[in-house]
Structure 1
Amino acid sequence: MARTPSLSTLRQFRILAQTANFSRAAELAHVSQPALSRTIRLLEEDLGARLFDRNRRHVSLTQAGEDLLRLTQRLIADFDDAFDLLGQTLSGQRGRIALGVLPSYAVGDLPAVLSRFREAWPGVDVTVREGLAGTIYQQLRERLIDLAVMTPPDDAAQDFTFLPLFTDPCALVCRAGHAPADPGWHSFADAPFIAMAPTSSVRQITDAAFARAGLAPRPLYECTQPATLGAFIAAGLGISALPLSCRPMVGAHDLEWHLLDDSAADRVIGIAHLSARSPSPAAQNMLRVLSAKGAC
C-alpha cells in the first residue's frame, strides 16, 4: 500500500458507497464531483484495488470495496466515539479527579460538596485521599492528586497555588460541666493538657499560640486521632485545644467547646494545587464547587 488513507478520504468513500451516486455523494461531502472522483481514484491506486464498478447509470462496490466499507465503518465509529469522549473530558463532563483533604474536612463539609459535584457532573469519578498536610502536599508535588483542601503550604514552598476558603477557629475542649471559670489560653497553665501529635497542623497551631501567650504546657497525653483525644477528655483526663472543624471527628462525647480569643490561632483552610500544572477541566469544576463556600 503506497500510503495510509486519511480519515477524510475514508469518509468520502463511505458516502459514495452509501449513495452509489457520485453527484449526490459530492454534495453530501461538500466537495466538487471532480474532486470526489480524484479522491476515489487515488484511494484505489494507494490500495492497489478497484473499489467500485462504474457505468453511466450505476456505481456499485466490488468485493474489495465491500471489505473496505466494513473496516471503514468500524474505524469511523471508533474515531467518532473517541473524540466524543475526548470532548466530554475537555468540557469537564467526564474524567477523573484525585482530591487530597484534611480528615476534619472529609467528615465535615466534603460530603455536601461531593453531592453537589455529582449532581452537576455525574460522569466524573472522584478519588478522595485523607491525610496530614505534609503527606498531601508531597502527593500534590508527585502529581498523585489534582487538588487539595488543606492548611497553607510552608512559606518556603513556592510551587503551590493556594486559595483561602475559610478560617477554622480554635476552641478549648473540656468535659461537660468541668469548664474553667474563664476559658482561655491561660487555662492550660495549670490543667492537664491532652495534645495532638507533633506532626499535625493542629499541634503546630496550638504550640505557636502557647508561645504567644508565654506558656509552655507539657502534654500529659499525645494522640494521633481526634476521636482518641475526645475519649480521653470525656474520661476526665484533661483538656485540649482543637479547631472547630474537628468536632465531627471527636465523636458524640459529652464535651464543651469554648472559642479561644487568639485569632492568630485560627486555622486557614483552602484549596491548593501545583502552580506549574493547569487543573484539568473536571478539576476546575471541582475547584468552583469547593470555592462556592466563599473565600475568606
Structure 2
Amino acid sequence: MQLKWIEDLLVLERTRSFSRAAELRHITQSALSRRIRSLEDWVGAELVDRNTYPLALTRAGAAFCETAGQAAELLLDARATLRREASLPGNAIGIAAGHTLSLAFLPAWLKRCRQRFGDFHARVVAANVLDAVVALSEGHCDLMLGYNHPRVPVSLDAERFASLAVGADTLVPVSAPTSRGRPRYGVPDGRSAPMPFLAYTPNTTLGRVLDTVLEARDAHRGLVRCYEADMAMLLLKMATEGHGLAWLPLSTAAEALADGSLVHAGDASWHAELGIFAYRSVISSNPTLLEFWRMLESPGSETPTLVTAAAGDRPTLASAA
C-alpha cells in the first residue's frame, strides 16, 4: 500500500469526481482510477460506488476514509518534522519556487521578510510549477511560491492548501533595440512580416498566460516560433542578443531595460498582470511556518509590486499596503 493512494481517495471523497480529483492530484484520470483500484485490492473491499452521480463512497469507503485520513495526516506531519530537523537546524522553512521567481523575486522577498519576521533558515528548491505543486502536495516543502493569473490559476485543492498574495509582476513584450533605440522586433500589427518569437515551452505558467494575451489579439499568426525555453532567464539571454521578440516578467527584464540592452516592444494592451502567491498546507505543524504565515497575513505586511519606469530609468519595486 502507498500513502498516495490514501491521499487520492481523500481528494476523491471531497470532489466526488474522478476528473477533478485527477486534476488536483496532477495525474491522468486513468492513473487515478488504477490507484483507487489498487487501494481497494489492498483493503479488500470496494471503496467507491461508481454507479452513482455524483460519485459517492461506499459504507466501507466512508469508514476507511475517516481512519485513513487521520493516519495520513499523522504520518505526513511526522515525516515533515524529521526532514526539517535533518536538513536545517532551528527555525527553518522549506520553500519550492518556480525557476523565474527563485531568481528574480525570492532573494529580495526573503530579505524583506527577515527584516519583519527575524532570522530563519530557508531551504529553497527551484522547480517548474508542476514539480513545485507536487512537492507541496506530497509534503516535500512547507511553502510554495508561484505566479497566478485569473485565467491560469494554480491547481491546488482550496480545502487542503491556504494561499496568500505576496507580490505582483507584469509580463511585457521586449526586444533588442535598433541603433535608434526602437524595438528591433515589434508586436504583430497585421501589416508587417511575422516576427521571430522567443516562446515558452507548452504547459509552463508564463506560456499559458501569454497564450491568453495572444489569443485575445489573434496575434499568433504574426509570430514565428524560432526558440522555446521553460525559463524566462533563457529567453532574456536570447532577446538581449537580438534573436527575436519575447514576453518577460518585468522583474526578469528590469536590469536589461534599465541599461538599454532591451526596450519595450508594445504598449500596455500587450501586458499581462501576474499575481505572486504563497501556498501552504492547512495541516502543517511547522511552528516557524505558522508564525511566518501569520506575519504575512498581518495588516502591516506589504505586497511588493513592480512599477514600470519611464524610458531610460530603472524599473523599481514599490510597496502597496
The normalised TM-score by structure 2 is 0.53
Give the residue type in structure 1 aligned to 2:245.
I
Change (3 A) 1:218 1:191: closer
| Equivalent position of 1:101 in the other structure | 97
Q: How does 1:53-72 map to 2 (within 5 A)?
A: none
Please give the TM-score of this superposition, normalised by the length of structure 1. Answer: 0.57
* Match status 1:233 vs 2:239: yes
Identity of aligned residues (%): 20
Aligned to 1:164: 165
CA contact (8 A) 1:194 1:221 kept: yes
* Equivalent pair of 2:183/2:263 in contact (CA under 8 Å): no
249, 269, 274: which one aligns with 2:281: 274
1:208 maps to: 212
Give a deviation string over 1:221-248, Cα, whole Å, max 9, x none. 1123333322322232211111212226
Separation of aligned partners in 1, 2:103 and 2:137: 25
Tell me the CA shift for residue 254 of structure 1: 1.3
CA distance in 1, matches of 2:103, 2:226: 27
Residue 123 of structure 2 corresponds to residue 127 of structure 1:
yes
Q: Are residues 272 and 163 of structure 1, via their aligned partners in 2, closer, same or farther at CA, if it must alter by over 3 Å?
A: same
- Asked which structure has the greater CA Rg, the reply is 1
Contact 1:94/1:282 (8 A) holds in 2: no
Aligned to 2:253: 247
Partner of 2:291: 285
Aligned residue in 1 for 2:144:
148
The verdict on how the C-alpha distance between 1:109 and 1:131 changes in structure 2, with shifts beyond 3 A counting, is same
> Cα distance 1:113–1:169, how it changes in 2: closer, same or farther (>3 A)?
closer
Q: Please give the alpha-carbon distance, in whole angstroms, between the structure 2 residues aligned to 1:286 and 1:257.
A: 37
Partner of 2:263: 256
Structure 2 counterpart of 1:220, from 226, 240, 249: 226
- Residue by residue over 1:63-95, the C-alpha shift from the partner in whole angstroms, topping out at 9 and shown as x without a partner, is xxxxxxxxxxxxxxxxxxxxxxxxxx9xxx943
Corresponding residue number in structure 2 for 1:191: 195
> Are the structure 2 counterparts of residues 112 and 229 from structure 1 closer, same or farther at C-alpha, using a change threshold of 3 Å?
closer
SS at match of 1:210: helix
What code does the residue aligned with 1:269 have? Answer: I
Q: One-letter code of the match for 1:261? A: A
Greater relative contact order, per chain length (Cα 8 Å cut-off, separation 6+): 1
Shift of 1:255: 1.3
Aligned AA for 2:248?
Answer: L
> In 2, are the aligned partners of 1:151 and 1:269 still within 8 Å (CA)?
yes
- The Cα RMSD (Å) is 3.6
Unaligned ranges ≥5, structure 2: 1-84, 305-319
